[in-house]
Amino acid sequence: MLSSNEKLLAGIQKVFRNNGWDCEMVPGLPVVETGFEAHHGRLNLHVQAYGVVGAVSVVAVSPTLIPSAAGRAKTVELLMRANERMNLGGFELRWDQGEVLFRIGNVFPGGKIDAEVLSLLVEIAIVEMDRIAPCLALIAGARPGELLLLDPGELLARTDLLPEPGPPESGENRV
pLDDT for 152 beyond 50: yes
The strand pairing partners of 105, in sequence order, are: 57
pLDDT at site 172: 56
Beta strands in 14-172, from DSSP E residues, in sequence order: 24-25, 31-38, 41-50, 55-61, 90-94, 99-107
Q: What is the pLDDT of residue 160?
A: 86
Report DSSP state, residue 104: E
Give residue 173's pLDDT: 62
Cα 121 to Cα 116: distance, rounded to the nearest angstrom: 9
Strand, helix or coil for residue 47? strand
**pLDDT, the chain, mean:** 92
In this predicted structure, the answer to whether residue 159 has a pLDDT above a threshold of 90 is no
pLDDT at 170: 46
Where helices occur in 36-98 by DSSP H, the ranges are: 69-84
Q: Is 73 exposed, middle or buried (0-12, 13-18, 19+ CB in 10 A)?
A: middle
Residue 71, pLDDT above cutoff 60 = yes
Whether the predicted pLDDT of 44 surpasses 90:
yes
> Among residues of the chain, what percentage have pLDDT more than 90?
82
User: Per-residue pLDDT tens for 16-31?
Assistant: 999 999 999 999 999 9
What integer is the mean pLDDT of 154-163?
86
Q: Which domains does the chain have, with CATH numbers?
A: 4-159 (3.30.1460.70)
**111 falls in which pLDDT band (50, 70, 90)?**
confident
% of residues, the chain, pLDDT over 70: 93
**Residue 175 reports pLDDT greater than 60:** no
